[in-house]
Amino acid sequence: MNSEQSTRPGMVIRPIDESEWRAWLDVDEEAFSEDNSPARADAFRSLLEFDRSLGAFDGDLLAGVVAGLTFTMTVPGGPKPVCGVTAVAVLPSHRRRGVLTSLMRRQLEGLHESGEPVAALYATEAAIYQRFGYGRATDNLFLTIPARSPFAVHAPVDPSLRLRVVRPAAEARADLQKVFDTVLPTRPGLYARNDAKWNILMADDPDHRRGGSALRCVIAEDDAGPRGYALFRVKPGVTENDVPDGELRVVDLFGLDPAAYALLWRHVLDRDLCSRVRAPIRPVDDPIMHLLAEPRLLNAGFVDEMWVRVVDVDRALAARAYAAPVDVVLSVQDTVCPWNAGRWRLSAGAGGAVCARTTDPADVELPVSVLGAAYLGGRTLGAYQAAGVVRETRPGALRALSAAMAWDVAPWGGMIF
Ligand SMILES: CC(=O)SCCNC(=O)CCNC(=O)[C@H](O)C(C)(C)COP(=O)(O)OP(=O)(O)OC[C@H]1O[C@@H](n2cnc3c(N)ncnc32)[C@H](O)[C@@H]1OP(=O)(O)O
């Protein structure tokens, strides 16, 4: 599809120049009905890559925007380049006229021509991006745990570990980055946090506190250095009878080994004057689920987290590792990126993966959104078959593909971008 075909008539789509930043911010603030303090606007701007942004212009008026960010994201097998899609906004005066559709199509065409084979995003509303071929690839586990919930007898303990409180939290930044960068390659979905991202986290914007304290930081360490950290806030409170009823909210918690991880959770659960711990952004296989003696006390739920778009089937499927050998012919449906539509043979084994065009008959028929959903390893395909989304035309092929694409560690981004 050429760019004229993908652009709404009367609308010009082009990258936004840095000098047009004010107009960009206006569109963003109007679309989200949110006003930014100067500090917050500066932080937002520091995240953007203007040459990777697109604006939809109605005459001189900037009516819609989308940003692309250059990411290294862990996928099954290790860190790879992924385009982070963010800051999507359309002026309320121009909504439901195809502005977003034009921006999405143009962005995907650009990635196909010279970009990353995979795009990922966090959606404000889950219904928006499926029509553009994004699949729900990760979920967020949210927990509300009563304080002082007991641990199971098998919970690991290492007497050489100690806790260090760092205040203000920003002073621990180097240690935090070291821990995070070590964890990064171990979980699909985690993306490398650049300086701008760490600046925002450590700036501890009062607008993000929602009635909670400044960011608190505790490091688990031994004589050799840090082995994990917890960042959290405490929202103080008392019951009507003056019983302490504070709420501790976990912001970020990573451990390099089971004992450090358990100690950090023990710390947040035992914090004085708190009656519960809320952890709203956790991976669905968080080890805390196996540390508590009474798992029902987790009060767990989950929601969609990241949505992934396979931009180029061949480049994307060859870029990741597979949990088992597989040799299948996929028939891919993709009306937004027609270069993906049709049959591809995926062959993966000990020597790596190859994905190439084929005229052989299909073994599995599926929409590109399911490839996106399964890309980070967090989905099995039988459920999509049961839902009527995927069809198997060679017995056993779907199961083989599902086992190969699934990954032992659940994917999770951990922080909105
Ligand atoms: C990755 C991120 O940045 S997520 C942030 C997304 N931005 C926001 O939530 C800010 C507020 N909302 C907006 O700015 C706009 O309403 C947008 C960006 C969500 C949609 O922009 P629009 O230009 O109105 O979308 P567009 O007209 O291209 O709609 C395309 C299709 O998506 C549908 N759609 C658009 N928004 C939504 C939605 N929120 N929920 C469900 N469907 C939607 C439209 O109905 C249309 O469907 P159709 O093709 O069947 O007619």
Query: In angstroms, what is the span from residue 85 Cα to ligand 1's centroid?
Result: 14
Contact 111, 118 (CB under 8 A): no
User: Number of C-alpha atoms within 13 angstroms, CB side, residue 278?
Assistant: 10
Query: In angstroms, what is the span from residue 95 Cα to ligand 1's centroid?
Result: 7
Q: What is the pLDDT along the chain (417 residues), one digit of tens a residue?
A: 444 445 667 899 999 999 999 999 999 999 999 999 999 999 999 999 999 999 999 999 999 999 999 999 999 999 999 999 999 999 999 999 999 999 999 999 999 999 999 999 999 999 999 999 999 999 999 999 999 999 999 999 999 999 999 999 999 999 999 999 999 999 999 999 999 999 999 998 888 888 999 999 999 999 999 999 999 999 999 999 999 999 999 999 999 999 999 999 999 999 999 999 999 999 999 999 999 999 999 999 999 999 999 999 999 999 999 999 999 999 999 999 999 999 999 999 989 999 999 999 999 999 999 999 999 999 999 999 999 999 999 999 999 999 999 999 999 999 999
Look at residue 6 in the predicted model and tell me its pLDDT: 54
**CATH number belonging to the domain at 3-116, selected among 3.40.50.300, 2.60.120.460, 3.40.630.30, 3.30.70.100:** 3.40.630.30
Report the distance separating Cα 258 and Cα 270, nearest Å: 18
Report the distance separating Cα 75 and Cα 70, nearest Å: 15
The sign of the CA dihedral 224, 230, 236, 238 is negative
Ligand 1 site, residue 63, Cβ cutoff 6 A: no
Complex confidence, ipTM: 0.97
Q: Fold for domain 141-303?
A: Aminopeptidase (3.40.630)
Q: Whose CA is nearest to atom 44 of ligand 1?
A: 96
> Ligand 1: which of 8, 61, 90, 106 to mutate, judged by most atoms within 8 Å of the beta carbon?
90
Look at residue 69 in the predicted model and tell me its pLDDT: 97
Q: Whose CA is nearest to atom 32 of ligand 1?
A: 128
Domain extents in the chain: 3-116, 141-303, 311-405
Ligand 1 site, residue 371, Cβ cutoff 6 A: no
- DSSP codes, 38-100: HHHHHHHHHH--GGG-EEEEETTEEEEEEEEEEEEEEETTEEEEEEEEEEEEE-GGGTTSSHH
Same fold, 3-116 and 311-405: no
Residues carrying an active site annotation: 129, 417
Ligand 1 site, residue 130, Cβ cutoff 6 A: no
The superfamily CATH assigns to domain 311-405 is: SCP2 sterol-binding domain (3.30.1050.10)
Ligand 1 site, residue 279, Cβ cutoff 6 A: no
Ligand 1 site, residue 32, Cβ cutoff 6 A: yes
Look at residue 208 in the predicted model and tell me its pLDDT: 81
pTM: 0.96
Report the distance separating Cα 354 and Cα 370, nearest Å: 19
Give the residue among 284, 334, 333 at the shortest CA–CA distance from 306.
284
Helices (H), 320-393: 368-375, 382-386
